[in-house]
Structure 1
Amino acid sequence: RDNDLFVHDIDKGLETALTDDGSDTILNGTLSWVYWEEIFDRQDIGYWWSDDAKSIAYFQTDESPVPIAHFVDFKPAVPNVITQRYPKAGMANPVVRLGIIDVTSRRTTWADLGEFEYLVRVNWLPTSDRVSVQTLNRPQDELDLFYVDRETGESTFVLKETDAGWVNVHDDLTFLDDGAHFIWQSERDNYAHLYKYTLDGALVNQITAGEWSVRSAGGNPRKTIAAIDSKKDWIYFSALEKSSVERHLYRIHSDGSGMQRLTNGDGAYSVHFSPNGKYFTAQFSNIGTPPGLSLYKNDGTKIKDISRPNIELAQEMDFHSPELFEIPTRDGFLMPAEILKPKDFDPSKKYPVIMNIYGGPSAPTVTNVWSRAHYFDQILSDRGYLVVR
């Protein structure tokens, strides 16, 4: 509240302020616009409780170097003017540092991380004595992973990721139950894959491999690990192994052996596991089939259908689906694409074309899935347009 952090004791009904220097430009535990939009996927994630509930790691942001921009809010009948700290290309970013506050004493220890431009991820180690922190440089081609001691703020370097283009931030850092290893995602071989490390940052082995990438299939768009069964050494993850326009669930042992695909059919799955990892729900659809939801055992055995695809409604709406195809690029890459044609399409006629392109990195718009974007495309198609993505 008011850019400060508070704790509320539910049993005692007592509220305590942990910070008291929040202002228009000093933000404690809440994000600036650029962090909210570009780093944390439009979620206000600015503080993290330790597992023992004794400490909170939090961002303190100084927005004073960031220029103020003005926008007209056109939604009201009488437009408003919105002011916002907005760093344009090449201008100053907000200055962010990581504090670790003891909930009882209200004492903050500041993390010593050296020079960096962005703080991009924070994860407590299960022992709660250290917190992992990921930093990026401004060109976003070097990412460093550190452990920070919660008592002293001293940092220990763990590993570095580099890329000639940019390093994609992920949420696959997972500390294993043995207390000696973690799982990490990297694109060092030009494909996003999972790797096993010792806790101090020594590579043990590559877990997934091949000319395909792991890819989120539900929930967090930057997290591909869906669950881990430590007792049986299974890592459950989603990937593009079958097709770059499909999303499927797989499992594999941490040494890279025994990989199995657990979902079937041509299309895309959105998967969520039960807390104990024994079951998962999977929403399945493809470009011509509306979504259906089913319950499975963690070995891929279907238990029951929870909700079947509403094909009748799609037929009642006279919904027609796009066609998937590929466009060869100059370097030989077959770029996935789709085209929606009018119902009465005549190949001998010329039609106006609307080409819908999103140029952002790691953000494909063509997937073999029943997409809400296709509803508006129906309106365009019914008015005689070809719609291409």
Structure 2
Amino acid sequence: MKRVLLLLFFLPLFAIAQKQITLADIYKKGTFRGEMVFPDFGKQPAEKLNISAIKDADGKALTAVSDVVENKLKPGLHLIKTNQESIYRHSAKAFTYLYNSQSKALTKLNNEKVLHAQFSPAGDKIAYVMDNNLYLYDIAGGKTTAITTDGKWNHIINGNCDWVYEEEFSFTQAYQWSPQGNYLAYYRFDESKVKEYSFTEYDNLYNKEYRYKYPKAGDDNSKIEIHIYNVRTGKDVKAQFEQGDIYIPRIKWTAKDNELVVFWMNRHQNNLKLLLTNPDEGTARLLYEETNKYYIDINDDWQFLKDGSGYLFTGEMSGYNNIYLYSMDGKKKTNITNGKYDITDIIGVDEGAKLIYYTAAYPTALDRNVFVVDFAGKNNTLLTSGEGTHRAVFSDDYGRFYDYYSNINTPQKVSIVSITNKKGKISKKTEKVLSEGEKLQILAKEYNLGRAELVKVPNGKGDEINGWILKPANFDASKKYPVLFCNYGGPGSQQVANRYGAVSAWHQMLAQKGFIVAGFDNTGTGYRGEEFKKKTYLQLGKFEIEDQIAAAKWMGTLPYVDKNHIGHWGWSYGGFMSSLAITKGADVFSAAVAVAPVTNWRFYDNIYTERYMRTPQENPDGYDGNSPINFTDKIKGKYLIIHGTADDNVHFQNATQMVTALVKNNIPFESAYYPNKNHGISGMADNTTIHLWAQMSNWILQNLGNENTDKTVLK
């Protein structure tokens, strides 16, 4: 009896002693960031510069240094970038200097900020972009040559991407050196006929308008040319390919200095051609062609072998993303892998041993494991194993790798693994464990973090959807808990993964407040094969929200769930989903927070939208039948919409049109708008990040919480 009484006495003290997660812990202090373990394979380290000792022409020390790039072939030469200025989400320009650590000479490439400064493969030249033109700087002679001169804002761009290519084809530097540096291949965008979009910047007495070219669904794109500049002769030729309504999502040089591969794609993005192009003439022959009844995803797994014999790539021709090896003459085509699981990336290729190292979503879509397979598609060997997520970083000789492993409840563990190849038989051995994630393990105990469960829920259409559920650490099955769904749900995405961090510190904070937090990957999400991913084709939002509703109904049957308090939170595509949840899902979702949501796909860019929906002219019902704007009259619950007024990606227009529909239907709502903030709505210096997360968190506590939740205001 005494023992029981003592336990009862100490339980409340333990509960009081449990640390409470704060917004400052998450977003200011970085309390829940894990240890960083960087690969070290004993390579020669880069030269360390004493930046503070480097003086400019006025004798002033360089400040706000953002990047230092060492010239691998010319010891002592470095590119130093300072005062970096973001342009869009991925692009930035900076003052750029060439520094010689031996002579201490510092040369500013230009008095203006430049983009994409890069040494040539021989290390004797630097290419860069400024004011939409491409330039070449000769290091020995100190001479700058303008490769192009017709660049003009909102008209012509050379060597840099237009807005939509940067965002949707995921690259910014639109030029490439040939392997030996004799040629520069570059994009020329003519965006003269692309419609201009503008938004107001509220930062002076009379404000100002920011204008840029943004092609919305169904509208004209930039006209694309690929040029090849001969560095020795100065000759510039244009690559020959079928013009019209097309995209060039990639260019890549083979291992040969005289072979450029131009990736050509039609506007529907269901026909891909690789054109092997002669850099001196611009003529091309067809190297590869692929068609798909839905669309083709572009990735960076394409690798041209150094011996010039062939190329590796991944594709979904089998119904899953697998690896293929084709010869350059097209006579030999090898299906390297043929699994009923998706390859997520090719990590590296050991051409000497004829081995390919890759990661796969295996044994389930939630997991990641590392494999090695030979060029014949045989001896496919697991280098890691078990459920959870492995990420590998290999040494240059592929003799060792760093294995970064975690699962949904276990912080990252880092090990060094050695590999032995004896006559084609691969074996591996763990040499050393470098980290067990001790810091995060201690924090999990100090804050008494909850443990997430991985679940599968039938969606009523023959599929099971993957999910995770996080209950409060002091969960009491006799209570009724409100539930918050956290969802993204877009094509090919994944939020439900068996890795640490899939359940965030913010989720844990809400669980401490008495919420059950859950995430479900609906139809259309990735790593479950092509069919599951592409079921949403031509009707984005339809199956996704049906799955979210099915999951919410399933949650509502659980005896410890307060089915009248189920909410939905999402950002960007997730904000689109939250807006559908409170409209089409009004009977099951009682509250929703939509951050920077798309509210009608007519408002979004054409490359992304048309890939999945075709144009509004071709598919008007697909656009309007799943737009939350058209279903605001169904809202019964509470709705918070948040947007940055300077969002160049998902325009503030999406929020204003949603609000217009809400007003028209006399639907009460709440809103928060962040002046001059882009799609990320962030900023520590001006307190935006803390304010935003406090705004959302407190709204959820007040509007979704019940008698069993802590509604103390967060700051």
Asked whether 1:355 is paired with 2:485, we answer: yes
TM-score, normalising length: structure 2 = 0.51
Alignment partner of 1:168 out of 297, 303, 318: 297
SS at match of 1:378: helix
SS at match of 1:364: coil
Per the alignment, residue 356 of structure 2 pairs with 235
The 5 Å alignment of 1:69-148 reads: 69-72=197-200, 81-115=209-243, 117-148=246-277
Asked whether 1:325 is paired with 2:455, we answer: yes
Distance 1:5 1:289, change over 3 A: same
Which residue identity is paired with 1:71?
F
Per the alignment, residue 186 of structure 1 pairs with 315
Work out whether residues 179 and 255 of structure 2, in 8 Å CA contact, stay in contact via their aligned partners in 1. yes
Alignment partner of 1:291 out of 398, 412, 417: 412
SS at match of 1:212: coil
Alignment partner of 1:36 out of 148, 166, 177: 166
Instruction: Pick the structure with more helix per residue.
Output: 2
Quick one: distance in 1 between partners of 2:298 and 2:291?
12
Distance 1:365 1:79, change over 3 A: farther
Which residue identity is paired with 1:180?
S
Per the alignment, residue 259 of structure 1 pairs with 380
Work out whether residues 254 and 305 of structure 2, in 8 Å CA contact, stay in contact via their aligned partners in 1. no
Name the % identity: 31
Quick one: distance in 2 between partners of 1:134 and 1:70?
31
Distance 1:74 1:236, change over 3 A: farther
Quick one: distance in 2 between partners of 1:288 and 1:178?
45
Query: Shift of residue 203 of structure 1?
Result: 4.4
Quick one: distance in 2 between partners of 1:293 and 1:10?
42
Distance 1:205 1:79, change over 3 A: same
Work out whether residues 111 and 154 of structure 1, in 8 Å CA contact, stay in contact via their aligned partners in 2. yes
The 5 Å alignment of 1:11-90 reads: 11-24=140-153, 25-40=155-170, 43-72=171-200, 81-90=209-218
Quick one: distance in 1 between partners of 2:387 and 2:188?
46
Work out whether residues 454 and 467 of structure 2, in 8 Å CA contact, stay in contact via their aligned partners in 1. yes
Per the alignment, residue 365 of structure 1 pairs with 495
Work out whether residues 109 and 150 of structure 1, in 8 Å CA contact, stay in contact via their aligned partners in 2. yes
The 5 Å alignment of 1:209-228 reads: 209-215=338-344, 224-228=345-349
Work out whether residues 161 and 186 of structure 1, in 8 Å CA contact, stay in contact via their aligned partners in 2. no
Quick one: distance in 2 between partners of 1:326 and 1:294?
31
Query: Shift of residue 14 of structure 1?
Result: 3.0
Quick one: distance in 2 between partners of 1:256 and 1:32?
39
The more displaced of 249-258 and 379-388 is 379-388
Quick one: distance in 1 between partners of 2:338 and 2:462?
22
Work out whether residues 69 and 84 of structure 1, in 8 Å CA contact, stay in contact via their aligned partners in 2. yes
Quick one: distance in 1 between partners of 2:234 and 2:292?
40
Quick one: distance in 2 between partners of 1:141 and 1:336?
28
Query: Shift of residue 372 of structure 1?
Result: 6.4
Per the alignment, residue 247 of structure 1 pairs with 368
Distance 1:349 1:236, change over 3 A: same
Asked whether 1:149 is paired with 2:285, we answer: no
Work out whether residues 255 and 307 of structure 2, in 8 Å CA contact, stay in contact via their aligned partners in 1. no
Distance 1:192 1:349, change over 3 A: same
Quick one: distance in 2 between partners of 1:336 and 1:16?
56
Q: Which has the higher contact order (CA 8 A, sep 6+)?
A: 2
Quick one: distance in 2 between partners of 1:357 and 1:386?
14
Which residue identity is paired with 2:402?
T
Quick one: distance in 2 between partners of 1:77 and 1:385?
45
Query: Shift of residue 234 of structure 1?
Result: 1.2
Distance 1:17 1:207, change over 3 A: same
Asked whether 1:208 is paired with 2:313, we answer: no
Asked whether 1:270 is paired with 2:391, we answer: yes
Query: Shift of residue 147 of structure 1?
Result: 0.8
Query: Shift of residue 85 of structure 1?
Result: 1.4
Quick one: distance in 1 between partners of 2:209 and 2:399?
52
Which residue identity is paired with 1:124?
W
- State which structure, 1 or 2, has the greater radius of gyration over its C-alpha atoms: 2
Alignment partner of 1:195 out of 308, 324, 329: 324
Distance 1:345 1:79, change over 3 A: farther
Distance 1:75 1:235, change over 3 A: farther
Query: Shift of residue 75 of structure 1?
Result: 9.4
Query: Shift of residue 72 of structure 1?
Result: 4.5
Per the alignment, residue 159 of structure 1 pairs with 288
Query: Shift of residue 358 of structure 1?
Result: 1.9
Quick one: distance in 1 between partners of 2:268 and 2:296?
9
Work out whether residues 287 and 371 of structure 1, in 8 Å CA contact, stay in contact via their aligned partners in 2. yes
Asked whether 1:379 is paired with 2:509, we answer: yes
Structure 2 regions of 5+ residues with no counterpart? 1-129, 421-427, 520-715
The more displaced of 183-192 and 271-280 is 271-280
Query: Shift of residue 84 of structure 1?
Result: 2.5
Distance 1:274 1:333, change over 3 A: same
Query: Shift of residue 162 of structure 1?
Result: 1.6
Work out whether residues 408 and 502 of structure 2, in 8 Å CA contact, stay in contact via their aligned partners in 1. no
Query: Shift of residue 78 of structure 1?
Result: 10
Query: Shift of residue 73 of structure 1?
Result: 5.3
SS at match of 1:314: helix
Quick one: distance in 2 between partners of 1:146 and 1:213?
27
Which residue identity is paired with 2:157?
L
Query: Shift of residue 320 of structure 1?
Result: 2.4
SS at match of 2:167: helix
Work out whether residues 452 and 503 of structure 2, in 8 Å CA contact, stay in contact via their aligned partners in 1. no
Cα root mean square deviation, aligned: 2.2
Query: Shift of residue 336 of structure 1?
Result: 1.5
SS at match of 1:5: strand
Instruction: Pick the structure with more strand per residue.
Output: 1
Which residue identity is paired with 1:85?
K
Quick one: distance in 2 between partners of 1:294 and 1:27?
46
Distance 1:373 1:128, change over 3 A: farther
Cα deviations by residue, 1:197-241 (Å, 9 ceiling, x for unpaired): 1102344221101211101xxxxxxxx111112222211111113
Work out whether residues 254 and 308 of structure 2, in 8 Å CA contact, stay in contact via their aligned partners in 1. no
Asked whether 1:341 is paired with 2:462, we answer: no
SS at match of 1:377: helix
Which residue identity is paired with 2:430?
K
Distance 1:90 1:10, change over 3 A: same
Distance 1:10 1:293, change over 3 A: farther
Query: Shift of residue 181 of structure 1?
Result: 1.8
Quick one: distance in 1 between partners of 2:510 and 2:203?
24
Count residues with an aligned counterpart.
379
